[in-house]
A and B are shown apart, each in its own frame.
Chain A
Amino acid sequence: MKKSTNVTAQRNNRWALLGIKAMVGVVVLILIALLGDILITGLPHVSWHFLTSPSKDFGAGGGIANQLFNSIYILVLTLLISCPIALGAGIYLSEFARPNFLTSVIRTIIEVLSSLPSIVIGLFGYLILVIKFQFDFSIFSGAIAVMLVNLPLLTRNTEEALHAVPQTQREAGWALGLSKWRTISRIILPAAIPGLVTGVILSAGRIFGEAAALIYTAGQSAPLISYTNWNPFSPTSFLNPMRPAETLAVHIWKLNTDGITPDATQISSGASAVLIIVILIIILGSRWLGSYLYRKMGGTKS
């Protein structure tokens, strides 16, 4: 009797473990198929011409130059605004907030913001920035909306990176008579740099692929712009933050929703491949930079 249950248990064990491995295999295959499909169907459409010529609404053969630039512009602008705010907010939560009711309310509100669908945040941007404050569909409106998507994640990342610095480092600073603020800015922040940098780079990946928050804030059109017009107030200047600016991700969505561009599928494939490659570079870059900084900061032994 005992023996037979044992045999059954052994058999179940074998099958279950096999099942787990098979499911893991399926997941890996899905990823390979996804990446393979994007790169194999997309890369043949990516050429220098594709990357450097403007898109066409009604004809075939358009490129993605402006969309690519717009994506980068919004990325940079968003990071410029959200990094300092997230840093400050993360410092507050990690270093100053006492464990009390008020702090738990603050944390809950930030969690709610981070769990809001980005389309809802985009619509809020539309309501406030585009309509109420009349910034219209613009890079600026888009950057603020994406900032809202990004802030709670970046804040949490900052808090975690600071939290990971041992408490003994803070005590070392305090016991020398340094102010709490100096201890944070000169001891804790430098020690947290690897974690902070990794977080910012990963958030850059998210921003670059973001579309839902942008379709009603940065807009769905990419008017012709001039890359030689350096006057940021001129409507045709590539630097003007108040012009409508369809990004690469929005472009892919737009092409497949409107269906008026004859080679929409080819362009989407090419644009998806470009998007994925940029994001791959970002992910790999963050891993490399993160471990480089850890090594640099940590000394050779530890």
Chain B
Amino acid sequence: MPQELMYLTKEWRDEAERRLKNELTPEKMNFITSSMSNIYLNCPDGKNKYLFFKFVDGKLDTLALGEGEPPDAEFRISGDYQVFAMISRAELGSQKALMTGKLKLKGNMVKALKLAAIADRLNKVLSQIPAQY
């Protein structure tokens, strides 16, 4: 059994970056140029964290993990750490989390709709990282 990494640690981020670069080709990412920040509220250590993704022409350019205010991004998804954890464990769909208000999206919904399938591909890769929450 592969080693489980602590969710949202530097080790988890590094593994996420490796997998995203290996598994999501520019073709699979529709050659998009866009950015997104996931904002994790009420993390187990009591802090708020972010995970910032930037893709340029379909290639992962930046994956940044941090605390406090994230860099400016085209889309900003915020919610409780536990909600993101449930999504990562496939216990909750990201669409349902948005439709029930558990997650909040800031950004242009028309553009977001175009990127919905891509976001699902990205989430699927992240959900396959063995992790502890």
A joins B in a complex: no
| Chain B interfacial positions (CB closer than 8 Å to A) | none
| Chain A interfacial positions (CB closer than 8 Å to B) | none
